[in-house]
Amino acid sequence: MKLSFFYQFNHYPLYMKNFIASPTKMGTLLPSSPWLCNNILNNIDWKNSYKIVEIGAGNGVISQYILQRISSLASLDLYEINNDFIKILNQIDEHRITVHHRSAEYLFGDYDIVISGLPFRSLSKKTGMKILKNTRERLLKNNGSLILFQYTKGCESMFSRYFHFTKERVYLNVPPAWVYTCKPKLD
């Protein structure tokens, strides 16, 4: 399955509508570019990643790239709170996906990989910290990784409370983004 460039942007009006209605929940006007999607997924050991979750799944652009890489035995949980995007995610005809219409604050299950498109800079600090703490706890049992992207470096102090991380800049995205690869800190 080759993901078309058109899929990336055919929901542009929906992104714009939701961004105007609530910029703190959206964080951007456009879906992630193919270059950002590939950068997020390039450092994952797919042969040993069977339980994957994407929090802030949006319209499923990154989800489609994940489906191209995971094995037939893997599962992908998608967390999203936006009703417009939930409708789109529920249309993906794929047995490996389970869509959760709830906040990542209520993430459950243990995962090998957590991929996040959440705009942490726009979340309240309390909510962001709760999500990061909960994510760390969901990864510790499996020695898993959190891969996330942000448009600023303003939340690095939050990330460093629970994770060790490396970062890489992706310029071929609107706006350019930072991709963080995070491993849980042990208490």
Q: What is the pTM of this model?
A: 0.87
> How far is the C-alpha of 151 from the C-alpha of 139, rounded, in Å?
24
Q: Report pLDDT for 13.
A: 58
> How far is the C-alpha of 135 from the C-alpha of 168, rounded, in Å?
21
Residue segments in the chain with a per-residue pLDDT below the cut of 50: 1-8, 18, 26, 29
Burial 11-35 (b: 16+ CB within 10 A, else e): beebbeebbeeeeeebbbebbbbbe
pLDDT digits (tens, 9 = 90+) for 122-138: 899 999 999 999 999 98
Token look-up 């979750």 returns: 53
Could you tell me the strand order of the sheet in which 163-170 lies?
97-100, 75-79, 51-55, 113-116, 145-150, 177-184, 163-170
